[in-house]
A and B are shown apart, each in its own frame.
Chain A
């Protein structure tokens, strides 16, 4: 299947600073793709290069199977991290403008606006100025503005940051619905919990590099043989010195242990018993956050 979006070794530097140092990834059609990484990792720069807001120094951006053109941008729904609305415009005029710059005819735009406003329960506010709306309502208008032209591909930069819980739920439902229709969504976040719930594919970015990319399930499966839950009494943090243990993440119930690829779980358990009072030791699928931290450590 042709990826909806494909990046090949995309790079961008500002002077000596490498903001994006070679990112390659592919967003399959009908997927929710998470672009993950800490603040400053290069997520926004990558997204801006996808949207042709910043020109990459090198690399290629392909959408819907061909090199991206300006016309393609109109088929994408983009919600930037820095987002806002014209405060003095009415909701209706605002959405009409956003639809028109995406090439919708006035008639189509009118129908879409009515449909979407009804869906987010803001039909009564169409004639109000944006500045008269609450922040939560404005967020809904921003989301509607992104979806009005029924884009084939959604690019969302930190879409959930600042959203109130109610709008988060609405948005999550919308994204799932979109995926069911066979369309693709790429969104960036530094919140791993949310990504874990929503994404089926991920790309981890750290210091401008893609350090892990692929299907989330596959990545987890691949790592699950090496990750264990330990419940025990004693100094768990000191266990990282044990042969075969890659690293330890202590938590409330005990600790998560990541073993080296060549380590044997049974052997590690025998070593552990000598050091702490082990009450529980079992294989457990890693959480995205743990995968992320391990990947960052491995890359360093």
Chain B
């Protein structure tokens, strides 16, 4: 191997591709997408439905209206209904808390029922139509028994608003019923309140509060990042080799440098390009997970932060990407060299997807238990190591010996893969025309 040859080839691969539009589109799509799914909805939601005027007509004798009004006074509308007997959907992290956190608030206007109910209803409809009020609620005399309340609004698809309203009304009616039964709603609320499970991740240097869901989501995001990067850049290797073959430049190049050096140069160049992309992606994650940054834009449940992206994590992700890339790209290089066009090559290239899909299948079991035997064993199997070790590191830093063992095994595996690939590559790049059979390719490996 000649290092200067490898360097020249790697430089060409890197510079040509980083100048191209495709690289930047591919690189920026993911951060934009991630930002879009995390930030935009909350921005959008928090700006909408700020306050809604709701007319409440209570025909039960004013008891429900009184409770609604009282509740509004005792606590600010934007705090979770913690003092209430908590219904299932009111747990932190549930839709309701989310909706409250996003400022779904009501200004209740209490109006007494008129003798001519039909005329009153028509008048209320008119006020909704003319946008004097947002909605009206009709609590008829049987509501305490029938458990039914009417909600009239121009749009009835504002799901979150209805959830909050439903909870407010339920709470009010529940209190009326408790009082009628001679019980103290405040006392019952206090006695039956639910438990808040605060999730804390144990790491060196102490525990820090972290959303359990946020931790899993982080693992998932990092896993998918690597999955995408490895498969995209691996395939880039294949198309690059096919392109050199079909443009007939290859023989000129291999007359001056060894085919193995050409292959290594391409691997190194494209790997560096992938690392550049990963660096941009990691920077996005770091920014998104900086304490306070997201919180300023999105209302996270109190005390919960996203997992911090640490330097050792980033270094490990970089190493794991490089390892994963070499495992898969050396295979792709051999396939690209052996065949004449993308169609032929893809029939065989499909086989390698197995090694990318297995980690995808067992990913959720590992997210659930990152220390299980399944997780430890599969993350030590070379073709699976890059993706599964990444996932484990994102979820919970594994023991150092496991990481080092996994790296050593994978490096050994890469040496074998590159050796086989180089033999196929040397012969394949000069073969035009006939599509080789797998037996023929095996012969190249044995006799090259």
Chain A residues close to B by CB (< 8 Å): 48, 51-54, 70, 73-74, 76, 78-80, 82-89, 93, 97-98, 100-103, 142, 145-146
Contact = CB atoms under 8 A, between A and B. Distances in A.
Interface residues of B, number: 24
B353 interface: no
B419 interface: no
A73 B249 contact: no
Contact of A53 (B9, B243, B249, B430): B430
B257 A101 contact: yes
A84 B255 contact: no
Given A51-B255, A74-B256, A84 B16 contact: no
Candidate in A52, A76, A82, A85 with the most chain B CB atoms within 10 angstroms:
A82
A256 to B, nearest CB: 38
B190 interface: no
B4 A103 contact: yes
Contacts of A78: 252, 255-256
Nearest to B9: A101
Interface in B234-291: 243-244, 247-249, 251-258
B354 interface: no
Contacts of B249: 83-86
Contacts of A82: 248, 251, 432
A101 B16 contact: no
Given A82-B432, A100-B8, A53 B247 contact: no
B246 to A, nearest CB: 8
B72 interface: no
A83 B8 contact: no
Contacts of B2: 70
A87 B252 contact: no
Contacts of B5: 101
Contacts of B121: none
A93 B17 CA distance: 13
B53 interface: no
A97 B251 contact: no
B230 to A, nearest CB: 24
Interface in B209-248: 243-244, 247-248
B8 A97 contact: yes
Contacts of B247: 84-87
21 contacts: A48-B430, A51-B255, A53-B251, A53-B254, A54-B430, A73-B255, A78-B252, A82-B432, A85-B247, A85-B249, A87-B247, A98-B252, A98-B256, A101-B5, A101-B9, A101-B253, A101-B256, A101-B257, A103-B4, A142-B252, A145-B252
Contacts of A80: 248, 251-252, 255
A84 B255 CA distance: 13
A89 B16 contact: yes
Interface of B: 2, 4-5, 8-9, 12, 15-16, 20, 243-244, 247-249, 251-258, 430, 432
Nearest to B244: A86
Contacts of B243: 86-87
Nearest 6 pairs of A and B residues by beta carbon: A84-B248, A80-B251, A78-B255, A84-B247, A101-B256, A100-B8
A88 B9 contact: no
Contacts of A103: 4
B255 A97 contact: no
Nearest to A101: B256
A185 to B, nearest CB: 16
A93 B2 CA distance: 21
A70 B258 contact: yes
A25 to B, nearest CB: 19
Contacts of B257: 101
Contacts of A145: 252
Nearest to B257: A101
Nearest to A50: B255
Nearest to B253: A101
A79 B256 CA distance: 11
B204 to A, nearest CB: 47
B10 to A, nearest CB: 12
Contacts of A51: 255
A52 B261 CA distance: 14
A97 B20 CA distance: 17
Candidate in B243, B252, B253 with the most chain A CB atoms within 10 angstroms:
B252
Candidate in A48, A89, A97, A98 with the most chain B CB atoms within 10 angstroms:
A97
Contacts of B430: 48, 53-54
A63 B20 CA distance: 41
B363 to A, nearest CB: 37
Contacts of B255: 51-53, 73, 76, 78, 80
Contacts of B254: 53
Contacts of A83: 248-249, 251-252
Nearest to B246: A84
Contacts of A102: 256
B254 to A, nearest CB: 6
Given A86-B244, A93-B15, A98-B252, 10 more contacts: A51-B255, A53-B251, A53-B255, A78-B255, A80-B252, A84-B249, A86-B247, A101-B8, A103-B4, A145-B252
Contacts of A79: 252
Nearest to B20: A88
Candidate in B9, B244, B251 with the most chain A CB atoms within 10 angstroms:
B251
Candidate in A53, A93, A103, A146 with the most chain B CB atoms within 10 angstroms:
A53
Nearest to A146: B252
A44 B63 CA distance: 100
A277 to B, nearest CB: 53
Given A84-B247, A84-B249, A97 B12 contact: yes
